[in-house]
Structure 1
């Protein structure tokens, strides 16, 4: 009898301390899913110039100015601030930048946006942004799109070692050149 009780106790302990993961242990899809954009765009080309990792918020009937307020530092996406990695020394928006990973912040405005590369890492939003951590601030050219983008998106266009990073949301597109130094 004692052996049966001991066996049941060991079995019960084993069940409660199991490290097995079930489907219910995984979180549901984030409403602003993480994405990445890189140049060259072709996934088969491993010799990248730049890659951005960011989250993609959606408008959902809201106004862009409420989600990315003019004149205020914005995290450039949702959730964590976007991170940009340069795999070579580059000229970013006309300024020299050493290869490495930086946090990408922006300041929206009517005619042009300020694009900020910061030494801060692992930053949630722009709540803890520190200007003294800026590496460079450049100006992004603003244009308008006829078709509205529901989800914030980043895409690169270009040829060889010269690219343009495009940030798009609603009817606004911000463009910044990136070239291998």
Structure 2
């Protein structure tokens, strides 16, 4: 359990923060950018949930995902080397597999796509599309951190990749199982 008695510490006033290991880094460090994007994604999913209404199934999935995003942030904020003195919280293959199973289950009742989908339709769908785009950025940030020499778990990157697909399919489900999807009409406004 995390206990926060004081919200401000003043330690970040100089442009640095600390990783889960206690190591100081710049607030612009690639690792911090990655878990910052995951934090933003979590906030966008929170907004999407405000529009879930009677869609208890999607709301429950999103609630679990929000918790997993905190786990993912902890994973990204904890360097592999030196090994932490505690058991680090890491995203697991089983969490990626669960996302895949949920994607398959949600996709079963959807008509096959015959066009690209524009963000919109219902408020829930529009917010899920926004979450999907933030998720894609978080994935790119995690990959950039890895390319900058930070140890980033491949499972964490797979989780983000699969989550963006999950959010896309959930957005279609939120649009009356795809019936209210807003379809792209190439060149329609020329």
The structure in which a higher percent of residues are helix is 2
Superposed pair shares fold, TM > 0.5: no
TM-score (norm 1): 0.29
TM-score (norm 2): 0.28
The structure with the larger Rg is 1
**More RCO (CA 8 Å, sep 6+):** 2
The structure in which a higher percent of residues are strand is 1
